[in-house]
Amino acid sequence: MTFSPEAVPERIIPTELREEISRSYLEYAMSVIVGRALPDARDGLKPVHRRILYAMHELGLSADRPFRKCARVVGEVLGKYHPHGDSAVYDALVRMAQDFSMRHPLVNGHGNFGSIDNDPPAAMRYTECRLQALASDALLQDIEQETVDFGDNFDGSQQEPLVLPARLPQLLLNGSSGIAVGMATNIPPHNLGELVDGVIALIHRPDLSDRDLMQYIPGPDFPTGGHILGRGGIRDAYTTGRGSITLRAIASIETLEAPGRPPREAIIITELPYQTNKSALMEKIAELVNDKKIDGISDLRDESDRDGIRVVIELKRDAYPRVVLNNLYKQTPLQINFGANMLAIVNGEPQLLTLKRFLEVFLEFREEAIARRTRYNLRKAEERDHLLQGLLIALDHLDAVIHLIRQASDTTLARQELMATYSLSELQADAILQMQLRRLTALEAEKIQREHEDLQRQIADLNDILAHRQRVLEIIETEVTQLKTKFATPRRSEIIQDDGDITDMDLIANEKSVILVTQQGYIKRMAVDTFESQSRDGRGRKGAQIKEDDQVEHFFGCNDHDRILFFSDRGVAYALPAYQIPTGSRNARGTPIVQLLPIPREEKITSVIAVQEFSEDEYLVMLTRKGFIKKTALSAFSNIRTNGLIAISLEDADELRWVRRTREEDSIIIGSRKGMAIHFRASHDQLRPLSRATRGVKSMNLRAGDELVGMDILPAAIVNTFAHSPEAEEMEDIDETLETDTSDGPWVLVITTNGFGKRVPVQQFRLQNRAGMGLTATKFKAKSEEDQLAALRIVNAEDELMIVTSRGIIIRQSVVAISSQSRSATGVRLQRLDEDDAIVTAAILPPGTMEDGEEDDH
């Protein structure tokens, strides 16, 4: 059976399904956007909040009136204005009463209105409410003076305001959040006093930019306080409408003392980021501790009370408080990102607003509201004055008016006679007829005349306001200033200059460590306290499980936050943070270095140094196996690519062996295998700075069969005490041992392969020119080829020394335990060695450790 178009009844409208769905969904979406989820930019309220406040205003629940049951208010809102669920209305009312949700609550709640622990409020039949003074003064005042438009409610039985006559930019004051169809808004709250300052500044200087306004409104001000990290996110939000603002809890590190127990370090949290659930936060911390994702926490408790928040996180004895706190910031809601999305309804359409546009929309609305109020007051004044003019006419002709009224047969005739005789309007005639006899007295007549004169001045003033925009702006300024004086409070959220990014380094304690690298390329990191200090002439402790065909190549001290620079024999530099080097026990072999760095098989790491900061006035001095030396700025190695960076250009069969840090005013001392040492300045006249891809110059003139064994740097303060000698003449050896040394250092530490060593005052190594023969640094115990110079280092009295043998035996001892002797002496035994073992290197530990109680800055 088929139908023709003519057979379709008129009440059925043929339409495409796609068009119908599209139109219906669009209407639904716009209804949600405009009528439910997004706030109006003028008064900063969504319809449900506006209806609640207006209903409370109609019920007379002002700040100076008694509380009324919330159920009464919810019923009023549901019955007259908001035909939705009661829970939606009550939830909105509750939020307007929570001081941790609103920067300036609009409702004064009496009873249980929930808590920051996300505890639910009591049922509406138990709680009571009334308006806050701010809501009455800043949102509802003048609403009866035709300042805003009214419209029909859902059934046409009542009139409701389409917007409230806000005297403050309420949308910025308390913020707003909501999810509509295809869009959302998230506007942070602000400080009332700062908003008023911004409004006044824009009134006086309309050309101010968003960034200029940030001088008056520096950023959001959240009701729960906390820290706002950096201004970048704020700037983005204010200038583009979108930005990510980082919020962080306020936490301090305190020492808790209690009778009968040792003092404990604890993290005390007193303020939380906005909308952070305290109870859920503590559950998250406990979960991370149980899962061993955060170490160092021994106890967690909530000591919050009516005076404020206090969450106590007790730490273990060996924990580093700052590291634990950084881990909490990174893994818990103690630090959050508030995604600002400044979307609001303007002229019936959703718009993304900047800071200046927010204030401009408010000022435009406020100007219109004041103009409408002025016109209303003008009309009322003119109507009243019109009546007074009629009364004054009657008083001027009192006897005749009385006679006319007495002669009239009824009120209608009297009204007509008055209108005809004295040219009065019907309203004036009625006013005369209703005038009481007591107003015929001279005193009452004078009051009428005075009121008429006052109204004439008021009418002139109101007309002047309507004629001059500047008068309107002055009124706005006066009103907002009064509100600031009455309601402004100090800022709660502090803006600090911190980007809030927590790097891996912030989560690592800056402990003192030693790093060991073997000849075959195994590397590991160990805590310094792995090796307790021993006396001189001890046997040491095993520091690594070295294979028979392997031996320790590099051993040095550093801090875990240092950046470790690796230099290969082919003159390529690599970089790695110290904390990324895997830790290992004393007996562990270590991790193959090729797993950490992209080093080709034919390359070998020959020098490793630790750098805390890439200073502009520091240099790297590089020394090759053939004795070529060069100086390159340390800053040239601040950004090393993953695959390395060329550090030096090498001749055929040459290798880069040693790299040290220096300043121009320092000096360099170099030792050879046969016990010679040369000392020369690092100044530009002796060693000028070169770029990375250069070879360098000759450092020392070696005898036949000799080779370089090490290089170290002497600080400038000591160098300046030397007398420079241009000739490299050998000084006459001094045979006697220096039994006592009154010098405070530094010294040249000389260690031989057979375990002997000594401290030689640096004054015995006079300054020479580069490329000389040098001076004798030590006299060997035996005349065999097996006894050679193993290490030559500059040391100070407070230094500690770690000596490493080829079999991985390590001994740690104080430098001052080693005798101070002359250059010609053989030294004292530092370590007892096995028959087939020998000293290969020595490391000086860096001063200043967290073992001494210093707190890590990170």
Quote the crossing angle between the two packed helices 469-487 and 192-204, to the nearest 10°: 160
- For residue 513, what are its two tokens? 């460590």
**Quick check: is 90 catalytic?**
no
The kind and range of the H/E element at 29 are helix 17-32
Q: Are strands 572-577 and 656-662 parallel, antiparallel or unpaired?
A: unpaired
Q: Compute CA distances 268 → 300, 310, 562, 678, 816, whole Å.
A: 10, 6, 30, 57, 43
Q: Compute CA distances 262 → 80, 259, 317, 319, 755, whole Å.
A: 65, 8, 10, 15, 44
- Determine how many CB atoms are found less than 10 A away from the CB of residue 774: 24
- For residue 271, what are its two tokens? 């303020």
Phi, psi angles (nearest 5°) of residue 306: -65, -15
Alpha-carbon torsion 528, 531, 534, 539, what sign? negative
Q: Are strands 563-568 and 572-577 parallel, antiparallel or unpaired?
A: antiparallel
Q: Compute CA distances 340 → 20, 193, 346, 417, whole Å.
A: 35, 21, 18, 71
- For residue 684, what are its two tokens? 């530009």
> Of 28, 81, 126, 329, which one is the catalytic site residue?
126
Contact assessment for residue 567 and residue 711, using Cβ atoms and an 8 Å cutoff: no
SS3 state of residue 827: coil
Q: Which of 121, 255, 243, 112 is nearest to 186 (CA)?
A: 243
Cis peptide before 582 (omega within 30 of 0): no
Query: For tokens 């949700």, what's the residue?
Result: 101
In angstroms, how far is CA 536 from the centroid of its own chain? 51
Contact assessment for residue 599 and residue 611, using Cβ atoms and an 8 Å cutoff: no
Whole-angstrom Cα distance, residue 426 to residue 430? Answer: 6
Whole-angstrom Cα distance, residue 809 to residue 517? Answer: 13
- What is the secondary structure of 347-363 as a DSSP string? TTEEEE--HHHHHHHHH
What residues form DSSP beta bridges with 252? 268
Question: In sequence order, what E strands does 806-856 have?
Answer: 809-814, 828-829, 839-844
Q: Which of 12, 2, 109 is nearest to 61 (CA)?
A: 109
Whole-angstrom Cα distance, residue 381 to residue 80? Answer: 33
Whole-angstrom Cα distance, residue 579 to residue 563? Answer: 9
- What is the secondary structure of 51-64 as a DSSP string? HHHHHHHHTT--TT
The kind and range of the H/E element at 86 are helix 86-95
Q: Which of 343, 316, 290 is nearest to 182 (CA)?
A: 343
- For residue 731, what are its two tokens? 């000084």
Whole-angstrom Cα distance, residue 451 to residue 437? Answer: 19
Sequence-ordered list of residues with C-beta below 8 angstroms from that of 758, at least 6 positions apart, any chain: 749, 750, 778, 818, 819, 820, 821, 825, 826, 827, 828
Query: For tokens 């023709």, what's the residue?
Result: 4
- For residue 347, what are its two tokens? 């002229």
Amino acid type, 544: A
The kind and range of the H/E element at 418 are helix 411-422
Whole-angstrom Cα distance, residue 558 to residue 562? Answer: 7
Cα angle for residues 527, 531, 535 (degrees, 5° grid): 150
Q: Compute CA distances 454 → 379, 384, 425, whole Å.
A: 15, 11, 22
Residues with a known catalytic role? 126
